[in-house]
Amino acid sequence: MLSDSMAHALNSHLNTEHFSAELYLSMSSAAGVMGFKGAATWFMVQHQEEMAHFMKFYGYLSSQGVLVKLVAADIPNSYASLLEMFEKTLTHEQHITKAINHLMDHAVKESDHASQIFLQWFISEQIEEEENDRDIIGKLKLIGDNGYGLLMLDNDLGRRVFVPQPAAI
């Protein structure tokens, strides 16, 4: 059984994961409009991953008998470059990492072992998320305005595929 404050904190984060999904769908559209079809695919896969994260929270809260409350958000969709998109992605993911860590602190404080087990997967996931973003930002900085380099990277980003994750804990 979840405490009211834990249920509230998890529900609030569920909405943040949903925001992430919409943010990356919007970035997919922006990358496509800029002509980066590979990056559009990369962000589309990121969108799918975030929807899977959102559904993990939804599934966990539902299994604990919590009525989920969804909140609509305004999604930014204006970017000057691919580099800006990935820098904003990394900043957003660092924010998510902090939020997951706070949720874990909350669960530890309450001796809520079920939530700690649930959140453990997200702690590991955030390491990978931030590492991927840092790698791409590093490459984009090396490439600069070199068209051939951007084409090669875009090709590479387009190879990303969505791997479905188990919905439950």
Contact residues toward ligand OFO (CB under 6 A) are 17, 20, 50, 53, 93, 96, 129
Mention every residue, 6+ apart, whose C-beta is less than 8 A from residue 39. Answer: 28, 31, 82, 85, 154, 157, 158
Nearer to ligand OFO, 142 or 168 (CB): 168
Tell me the residue number closest to ligand OFO, measured at CB: 20
91 contacts: CB under 8 Å, gap ≥ 6: none
Provide the minimum distance between the beta carbon of 4 and ligand OFO in the complex, in angstroms, as a whole number: 24
The residue among 93 and 154 lying less far from ligand OFO, judged by its C-beta, is: 93
What b-and-e string marks burial along 64-80, b requiring 16 or more CB atoms within 10 Å of the CB? Answer: eebeeeeeeeeeeeebe
- Closest to ligand OFO by CB, 116 vs 165, is 165
From the CB of residue 133, how many other CB atoms can be counted at a distance below 10 Å? Answer: 20
Q: Can you give the C-alpha Rg of the chain in angstroms? A: 17
CB of 34 to ligand OFO, least distance (A): 22
Q: Cβ of residue 109: shortest distance to ligand OFO, in angstroms?
A: 23
Q: Which is nearer to ligand OFO, 53 or 106 (CB)?
A: 53
Token pair, residue 114, equals 């079920």
Shortest Cβ distance from residue 114 to ligand OFO (Å)? 20
Q: How far apart are CA 114 and CA 98, in angstroms?
A: 20
Whether residue 32 contacts residue 40, with contact meaning beta carbons closer than 8 Å, is answered with yes
Instruction: Give 81 or 91: the residue with its C-beta nearer to ligand OFO.
Output: 91
Q: How far is the CB of 13 from ligand OFO (least distance, A)?
A: 9
